[in-house]
Amino acid sequence: MSTPTTAQAIRNIAIIAHVDHGKTTLVDAMLRQSGTFRANEAVAERVMDSNDLEKERGITILAKNTAIQYHDSKINIVDTPGHADFGGEVERALKMVDGVVLLVDASEGPLPQTRYVLSKALEAKLTPILVINKIDRPDARPQEVLNEVYDLFIDLDADDSVLEFPVIYTNGKAGTATMDLAVPGTDLQPLFELIFKTIPPATGTPDGDLQVLVTNLDYSDYLGRLAICRVFNGTLKAGEEVNLSRIDGTLQTVKITKLFTFNGLKRTDTEVTEVGDIIAVAGIPAITIGESFCALENPKPLPTIKIDEPTIAIVFSVNNGPFAGREGKLVTSRNIKERLEKELLTNVSIRVEDTGTPDNFKVLGRGELQLSVLIEMMRREGFELMVSRPQIVTKRINDQLMEPSEILTIDIPESFVGTVIERLGPRKGEMVKMANHGSGRVRMEFKVPSRGLIGLRNEMLTETRGTIVMNSIAGDYIPYTGEIPQRPSGALISDRQGVTTLYALDGIQERGVLFLGDGVEVYEGMLIGEHSRDNDLDVNCVREKKLTNMRASGSDDAVRLVPFKVLTLEQSIEFIADDELVEVTPKSLRMRKKVLQANRRPKGNRSGAQPE
């Protein structure tokens, strides 16, 4: 059984930051130094990033919670994503806590997602602690970064009382913290003490009206669905019957079969909850995020969690290409529908709309990254599907067509300033801020329609020779800005089925950039490269050399292909035009035309229909 703690001895904090500023690494160090792991226990780096995709990409996708014992007290820590695309996870996580640890890189300073997560924390009136991390970097500038953070708080209209936040300096990798830069830290003891001194204990009383909010979901092979909850008021006991306030406002009587509290990364059985604790409840199969437990008599449900509106939509379809069913085991519309319904249970910021046809599903989310992560997860689970080019979600306000915008921050060497401004002009980008930190790099801020960012990253990386750092956060809705030019180039398209040959590709490569090499199976209508001109070109990439006495097969050894360009899933989704699709299978990514036969394809405009 878990050791009982009082609400006074519990602190609930969320670690919030821009992506890659060291949140998960700092949590690792806190877990190690609190004695959560045995001395001889092997622990992986970034232990909180449990998802394979998180480990590969080095980013946090799902908000997760852990708990550490500090003397006789307990700190519940929620590690949140830094990407604005996963804002639903951030908003949900902030419902579980009473304070935030705002982590900022000592060199990079506050970046777009720092602004985003901090604005959410201030909206929720949470107490902040500023941690300036990575002070060991050779280019660290902690004092200037501190001033930039103060400016950010003021910019976000923070109350004067909030501006008196404490500041601590850390090296998350080494696991050290200090309140004074002149005195190097030896461990994270100052951070633990600062959390208890600054973050308020949970409010509420054990004998008050029961109020427990479901903020996350987990799954156990033995217990089924687990609801991760925050106890705001009252006491929940294993075996008792309580009301469950559903999303639609109805009340349902349910029995609590099992209760858990958290200790490190493990769940521990408990019979009774403490006010302010973060717990897991088992035994309620249809429970979902945003619902709350309340008393049978005089129920007082908590308000449901409000999430920002989706801005991007992608159509998921059944794979109907010539190679359909070869590599995946989950290929039917029923499989895809069930998987999307399962995702809706745990992912509060995604929506699925009916398209009127049983084989197509319109999936709406906060950004391309969020939706491409879902596609990649489905792909690894054995799904085969096709996905369309992302479209923006427009709305009518006062009879005017409005579209979502984004605040785009770009950090580049001074020599590329003109290039960036030139590229963002046609995409309706409007510069709102520009700062030169004197390091040879310039930081610029633009307000851009969300449409204008589709395909921008690849273009910018090419134009700036990979030196650009780009980040964006959702802005407000703006009047529709008119047509934005899409991909300026056409595609090289296979005009028949077969296997690519060195001989054929050698003749095609001067027409553009190839996406595949020799010996790859292709079909009619499949994209094999990017045309150097603005029109599509159907090519025979499977043609073999006819052998004669004059031309021997050995002369093929002299053919040298330019290295072809392999596109990732995100790059493929950004590259395709409105009349194209990405075919996603567990083993392959193929880009193709919606209409495969060349003689049935409409000629000319690839940009598709404009919004109504």
Instruction: Give me the CATH number covering residue 532.
Output: 2.40.50.250
Question: Residue 381 belongs to a domain with what CATH number?
Answer: 3.30.70.870
Tell me: pLDDT of 554 over 60.
no
Residue 14 clears pLDDT 80, i.e. is over it: yes
Residues 43 and 129 in one domain: yes
In a shared domain, residues 32 and 164: yes
Which runs of E-coded beta strand occur in 299-429?
312-317, 351-354, 360-365, 385-388, 391-392, 395-397, 400-413
Mean pLDDT of 570-597: 92
Cβ neighbours of 40 (radius 10 Å): 5
How many whole angstroms separate alpha carbon 232 and alpha carbon 562? Answer: 62
> Does one domain contain both 190 and 149?
yes
CB atoms within 10 A of CB 329: 11
137 three-state secondary structure: coil
Q: Within this chain, do residues 582 and 515 fall inside the same structural domain, yes or no?
A: yes
Does residue 484 sit within a domain? no
**pLDDT score of 483:** 84
The pLDDT value recorded for residue 40 is 38
Span 161-168, average pLDDT? 88
- For residue 264, the 8-state DSSP code is B
One domain for residues 499 and 566: yes
Q: Are residues 23 and 43 in the same domain?
A: yes
List beta partners, residue 316: 361, 387
38 compared with 449, residue with greater pLDDT: 449
Q: End of a domain among 341, 373, 391?
A: 391
Q: Do 73 and 183 belong together in one domain?
A: yes
pLDDT tens for 242-301 read 888 887 788 888 888 888 888 776 778 888 888 888 888 888 877 877 888 988 888 888
Q: Binding site annotation covers 134?
A: yes
Q: Tell whether 2 is covered by a domain.
A: no
- Residue 78 pLDDT level (bands cut at 50, 70, 90): confident
Q: Do 58 and 143 share a domain, yes or no?
A: yes
Of 168, 198, 228, the domain-final residue = 198
- Return d(Cα 100, Cα 199) in angstroms, integer: 8
Largest Cα separation within the chain, whole Å, is 97
Residue 1: the pLDDT is: 36
Quick check: 405 pLDDT over 70? yes
**pLDDT at residue 400 greater than cutoff 60:** yes
Q: Is 531 annotated as a binding residue?
A: no
Q: Is 175 annotated as belonging to a binding site?
A: no
- Residue 606 maps to a domain: no
pLDDT at 583: 96
CATH number of the structural domain spanning residue 468: 3.30.70.240
Task: With respect to residue 610, please indicate whether it lies within any of the assigned structural domains.
Answer: no
Using one digit for the tens of pLDDT, what is the confidence trace for 31-76? 788 665 434 343 434 334 344 443 444 443 334 577 888 777 888 8
Of the ranges 19-23, 202-206, 389-393, which one carries the lowest mean pLDDT score?
A: 19-23
Whether residue 206 is contained in a domain is answered as no
23 is in an annotated binding site: yes
136 is in an annotated binding site: yes
CATH of the domain at 22: 3.40.50.300
Q: 335-373: buried (b, 16+ CB within 10 Å) or exposed (e) per residue?
A: bbeebbeeeeebbbbbbbeeeeeebbbbbbbbbbbbbbb
Helix, coil or strand: residue 24: helix
Q: Are residues 447 and 562 in the same domain?
A: no
For the cut 80, the answer to whether the pLDDT of residue 557 exceeds it is no
**pLDDT of the residue at 306:** 67
CB 102 within 8 Å of CB 23? no
pLDDT of 60: 38
Considering the domain architecture, whether residues 503 and 583 belong to the same structural domain is answered as yes
- Nearest Cα neighbor of 242 from 185, 197, 287 is 287
**Rounded Cα distance, 493 and 524, in Å:** 8
| pLDDT score of 456 | 80
For residues 559 and 175, which has the higher predicted lDDT (pLDDT)?
Answer: 175
Identify which has the larger pLDDT, 164 or 468.
164
- pLDDT of 370 > 50? The answer is yes
Q: Do 407 and 352 lie in a common domain?
A: no
Segment 198-208 mean pLDDT: 85
Please indicate, yes or no, whether residues 98 and 243 belong to a single structural domain of this protein: no
Q: Is 574 contained in some domain?
A: yes
506 is in an annotated binding site: no
- pLDDT attached to residue 595: 93
Domain that includes residue 591, residue range: 491-600
5 annotated ligand binder: no
Q: Does position 612 have pLDDT exceeding 50, yes or no?
A: no
Domain boundary among 341, 371, 391: 391
- Domain count for the chain, please give it: 5
Q: Is 25 annotated as ligand-binding?
A: yes
Give the chain's mean pLDDT: 81
What pLDDT is attached to residue 21?
Answer: 64
Question: Does the annotation flag 10 for ligand binding?
Answer: no
Residue 234 lies in a domain: yes
pLDDT, tens digit, 9 for 90 and up, residues 498-514: 999 999 999 899 999 99
Q: Where are the alpha helices (DSSP H) in 509-552?
A: none
Q: Give the span between the Cα atoms of 101 and 79, in whole angstroms.
A: 10
**343: in domain:** yes
The CATH number of whichever domain residue 234 belongs to comes to 2.40.30.10
147 is in an annotated binding site: no
